[in-house]
Chains A and B, each alone.
Chain A
Amino acid sequence: MLVLAGENRASGQSRDGAIQTLAQVGDADFEVPNGASVPAYYALLASRYLHEHGLSEADLAEFAVLMRHHAASHPDAQLTAPITVADVLASKPIASPLKLLDCCPISDGAVALVVSSQPSRHDGHAVALTGAGQAHHHQHVSAIADTLDMGASASAQRAFAEAGTGLADVDYLAIYDSFTITLAALLEELGVCPRGGSAEHLRSGAFGVTGATPLNTHGGLMSFGHSGVGGGMAHIAEAYRQLAGRAGARQIAPRRRALLHADGGVLSAHVSLILEQRA
């Protein structure tokens, strides 16, 4: 089965057109008329997150810096110039507490995957898709019943149950990162790190290329780029390459099992996959 997605999100529309598209995502009667848009919805979650955990914008900024660092080693990444936490904090305000560098860019791109009942004949390890799960608790930000239980955990538990494995056996993370807050919220709800502890976990080195659970080694949506459906599929392509041992110059130490997790909407539509290396 061929899974293919490609879009010219950057060159195929004007910047204002893209922003207007993102402004139609909310509830048509309760949210959109307010002049809100996708960054504002995620910003509302980010302000609540920082408030609940007593964290700062510098904590969220760490994720943008890490994604940029990882993108630098990928030849197809969109944004590769190194950035610092100070750069993120000084970047153009979009919707507080999110600045430009807390947000993914709008990108052109395409990704193709071949999913087969037969193991790959390519060089490297075969990689099996062993579990999949979904959860859909809400559609719009105003309707989120519990910001600590938005569907990520329920989705991942279904995928882990199908795969007959658990988070403790995961040694690679491919997590949707539309905004810095997306990563923090997902990593914590997935149970990768304690509530409010994802930035501290990052600073410990766990998500780096030599860490226990490297995260988005292609640079994620925030720096590899976000071309719509292809943007999320790039996480799968990178997880596959790392597990298969086909990541070339950016190959990390052998990995056995990846957790992939993505959301659509405003942390609304959750999907998780488990990829495992076969001998």
Chain B
Amino acid sequence: MSTSQLSKPFTEGLAQGVLRYQRCERCGAAQRLARYACTACGETALGWHDARGTGRVFSVTEVKRAPTDAFKAMVPYTLVLVDLDEGARLMGHAPAGLAIGDRVHASVITLDGQPLIRFDPV
């Protein structure tokens, strides 16, 4: 299974405007990214769950040098890592000025047909 197949519940969820994350069915640990096995206990039974979309900013950067033409049109843009209340950590876009520790809520935006997570202050 490619990682993209593994991530399918996440990417399909985004296309439907839903944030999804994996949780271990044995120990309950929320996973980061898409996993074959639990990073806490090794269990391979991991279930996908819908997240509420609320969380707290773990880190933030304002990008001034974009890697592709689509993003060059957006410069500058803010990227954040957010710790969801359920325990997963997700990367997303955010408005300028967001700070570490801020409470945020997620929505899904679309750029060039690509659904992306956007976190806004609560």
Residues of A within 8 A of B (CB): 19-20, 22-23, 27-31, 33-37, 39-40, 43-48, 51, 92-98, 140-143, 145
Contacts and interface: CB of A to CB of B under 8 A. Distances in A.
B61 A28 contact: no
B109 to A, nearest CB: 11
B116 to A, nearest CB: 6
Nearest to A47: B59
Interface residues of B, number: 37
Contacts of B11: 29
Given A44-B81, A95-B64, A142-B32, A35 B90 contact: no
Given A35-B71, A35-B77, A95-B65, A145 B39 contact: yes
A23 B68 CA distance: 8
Contacts of B33: 27, 29-30, 140, 142-143
Given A23-B68, A30-B33, 11 more contacts: A29-B7, A29-B10, A35-B66, A35-B71, A40-B61, A40-B79, A47-B61, A48-B59, A48-B100, A51-B101, A143-B39
B62 A34 contact: no
Given A19-B67, A23-B67, A29 B4 contact: yes
B70 interface: yes
Contact of A95 (B7, B61, B74): B61
A35 B91 contact: no
